[in-house]
Amino acid sequence: MTEHCSHSDHASCTLPSSEQVANFLDQAEVLCDRRNLRFTKLRKQVLALVCKAEQPVGAYHLLDELRESGRSAAPPTVYRALDFLLEQGLVHRLATNNTYLACAHPQHPHAAVFLVCSVCGHTQEVHTEGIIAELRRRAEQFDFAIKHASVELTGWCGRCRRSQ
Amino acid sequence: MTEHCSHSDHASCTLPSSEQVANFLDQAEVLCDRRNLRFTKLRKQVLALVCKAEQPVGAYHLLDELRESGRSAAPPTVYRALDFLLEQGLVHRLATNNTYLACAHPQHPHAAVFLVCSVCGHTQEVHTEGIIAELRRRAEQFDFAIKHASVELTGWCGRCRRSQ
DNA sequence: TTTTGTTATGTTATAATATAACGTTATTTT
DNA sequence: AAAATAACGTTATATTATAACATAACAAAA
Ligand SMILES: [Zn+2]
Ligand SMILES: [Zn+2]
Ligand SMILES: [Zn+2]
Ligand SMILES: [Zn+2]
């Protein structure tokens, strides 16, 4: 799960506590209730797994974890749950490495920028409406209307850069 | 192949003529010569196929075309050629739909923004160093050094919007 | 110009990611 | 309760990409 903290030094950011995860799941439940959608046991379980992960996770990793938990599961099991969570803005998908991560701010629909460290895998969701708005303006100059922006910046996080 | 024209109304832009493709291949050859790299028959053939395509193409589509041309080819054949072309900046890969397209300006290494129409598939490479520089500045605030920027904007091109 | 090392390609197999199709179960609506 | 809808189980398969190892082409050295 991406940190919900405000500071930029993510190196000092603690991993999501079980309390934070529970909080996030509660949020998700409220959100689904308001939209008259079913936050089923499967969807909750998959979201919990994505939240608990320190880094964005692959679909088949989630599948393994579902199976380890005792549940009968096949690829469609996890992909259907992920599709639901993506549609509701509860998770994001990273196209550059086919992984999924919990959204840092699921309350409001938004486009986001992702900073993906290619060394340690640490990934940070950055909300910069300014950038997205600027992209939208530029696209308009080309007579293009953006529906979805995928902005994934791969590189080195500070911690990895400092340790070579 | 993305247009090399300056106007923004891509709807009026003609498809790459065989002359334009030949020109592009010549450029690529010069570029490889200068770098002391082998612009082999296979690499040239794959680049030609990517150039001729009206839209970004998938690896297995290229594989089919290679086979149709009479050449013996397997997945590694096309992926190795694509890897070379990607490394040399002659083609780009779109992570959001796993396709490849010729670079509009291979002379200079650059990051680019792609406008991908989800209706007709038309894809335009836009060079906006301003945006990329701004992304780099924002990333720095998070102690992050960008090595590769993937900026893929999916939506509706003007032509498709006007025809519903 | 043979030898030798290096780079590129051929070939087979397999990994990794994702979806189609159809039957069953659970939930909601009538 | 019955019917309709939505979610899930299950099997099979599609799509995208790479591992591993053999052969061929090329370049540098002897
Ligand atoms: Zn988000
Ligand atoms: Zn890192
Ligand atoms: Zn380019
Ligand atoms: Zn279009």
What one-character-per-residue DSSP string does chain B give?
-----S-S-GGGPPPPPHHHHHHHHHHHHHHHHHTT----HHHHHHHHHHHH-SS-B-HHHHHHHHHHTT----HHHHHHHHHHHHHTTSEEEETTTTEEEE-S-TTS----EEEEETTT--EEEE--HHHHHHHHHHHHHTTEEEEEEEEEEEEEEHHHHHT-
Give yes or no: residues A74 and A131 share one domain.
Answer: no
Look at residue B1 in the predicted model and tell me its pLDDT: 61
Comparing CA positions, the residue from A156, A55, A153 lying closest to residue A99 is: A55
- Please tell me whether residues B28 and B99 are part of one structural domain: yes
Q: What is the mean pLDDT of each run of 10 residues along chain B (164 residues)?
A: 44 64 96 97 98 97 98 98 98 98 92 96 94 96 97 97 90
**Residue A48: both structure tokens together:** 């919990």
Q: Is residue A6 part of a domain?
A: no
Are A94 and A44 part of one and the same domain?
yes
Same domain, A85 and A124: no
Domain total for chain A?
A: 2
Report the nucleotide nearest the CA of residue A42, measured to C1'.
Answer: D8
Looking at beta carbons, which residues of chain B come within 8 Å of A156?
144-145, 147
Of the residues B103, B123, B153, the one at which a domain ends: B103
Least CB-CB distance to A144: which of B115, B134, B142? B115
- Per-residue pLDDT, B15: 59
pLDDT in tens, B37-61: 999 999 999 999 999 999 999 999 9
Give residue B16 CA to ligand 4 midpoint distance, Å. Answer: 18
Cα–Cα distance measured from residue A74 to residue B132, given in angstroms and rounded to the nearest whole number? 40
Residues of chain A with pLDDT under 70: 1-15
Domain extent, residue B122, equals 110-164
Q: What is the DSSP letter of A69?
A: T
Residue B125 sits in the same domain as residue B76: no
| Closest C-alpha among A64, A75, A102 to residue A86 | A102
Last residue of a domain, one of A103, A122, A143: A103
Q: What is the pLDDT of residue A15?
A: 59
User: Which residues lie below 8 Å from residue A30, measured CB to CB, with a gap of 6+?
Assistant: none
| pLDDT of B164 | 77
Q: Which of B51, B76, B103 is the last residue of a domain?
A: B103
What's residue B13's pLDDT?
46
What pTM does this model have?
0.92
